[in-house]
Amino acid sequence: MFAMYMTAEPNQEGSELHLGGYDLSVVGDNASWHFTPTVKLPGIIDTGTSLISIPETQYTEIVQAITRGLACDGLTCHDVTLDSFPPLKLGMVPDNVFTLQPRDYISCDARKTCRIQFQNSGSWWVLGDIFIKTYYTLFDVDNLRVGFACNGDLCKGGRGAIYGDDSDTTFDMWENAFLLGSVFAAGSLLLFVFYMHQHNLPSLDPMHPPHGTDDKTPILATTHLDVKSPLLTMEQFRNLNTSPKGPIVTSYAEARRNYSQLPTAAPPAEKPATVV
């Protein structure tokens, strides 16, 4: 379990990654979790994606609905303000609806030129930083679900555009920053793959099921883990039981307290000096 909190402004300190639990105090006094029912729709909640990605089959229709009656060239509109755009509602009607106000998904400069923070993603919905900075997001791996926190029963949005102020320079600066970050991440992945190849580490191919078992049958096995080792071998990772090995913490403070109590490795003993 982990949770991601992002500040509304890119140059504002305070964004946090909560490991092992969550902290609703970053949302507000009346914060509550909202989980959507399970549906068969391809979608990703991704901190590595800056914008909101829309499937190709729906992209044109959605953009046209938002820009209807405005002077727009694709995602860029001229002689407009934030008030020219409608709020967007995402989720499962009527219980779990998450609203994005125009200031959440539109970036405008001082020349009344506004950009819609969307992109065409092929066949998947991807809710990137535009959505995550609006709603504190919980990834609950054990229960295979994602939750979004709202300050109160209504998820109204309105935290502000991810690109900061209304200057065109700010937009270009953060667009370049996200591009450089993506290039760095891709380069790191290539170096990791090269390292695995050089050291003959096990491949990441999925395990083949034993003879006589159905591909849909989960294979559960227990494995011995060395508590002093911070990493799992590939075989241990494959055979790791899906059920949790211990209680799940319920707050960020508890996760930090547990981390501070972890044993530290003792320094190696010094060899006695040889007297000649």
Does some domain include residue 10? Answer: yes
State mean pLDDT over 160-168. 51
Edge-to-edge strand ranges of the sheet holding 2-5: 16-19, 2-5, 136-140, 145-151, 31-35
Domain membership of residue 67 as a residue range: 2-184
Comparison of pLDDT for 49 and 189, the residue scoring more: 49
Q: How far from chain centre, in Å, is Cα 21?
A: 15
Residue 262 within any structural domain of the chain? no
pLDDT of residue 26: 80
User: Looking at the domain assignment, is residue 252 inside a domain?
Assistant: no
DSSP state letters, 44-64: EE-TT--SEEE-HHHHHHHHH
The predicted-structure confidence for 80-134, as pLDDT tens digits, reads as follows 999 999 999 887 666 678 889 999 999 999 999 999 999 997 788 999 998 988 8
* 265 or 205, greater pLDDT: 265
Q: What is the structure's pLDDT at 191?
A: 60
| Entry pTM | 0.55
d(CA 67, CA 76): 9
Inside any domain, residue 139: yes
Question: 65 lies in a domain?
Answer: yes
- Domain-embedded: residue 104: yes
pLDDT of residue 215: 46
The amino acid at 170: T
Contact by Cβ (8 Å): 122, 56: yes
Residue 113 domain flag? yes
pLDDT given for residue 175 in this prediction? 53
Question: Is the predicted pLDDT of residue 78 greater than 60, yes or no?
Answer: yes
Split into its structural domains, the chain has a count of: 1
Q: Which residue has the higher pLDDT, 42 or 217?
A: 42
DSSP secondary-structure letter at 269? P
In this predicted structure, what is the pLDDT of residue 231?
Answer: 45
State the CATH number of the domain containing residue 121.
2.40.70.10
**Residue 209 banded pLDDT, cuts 50, 70, 90:** very low
pLDDT of the residue at 94: 63
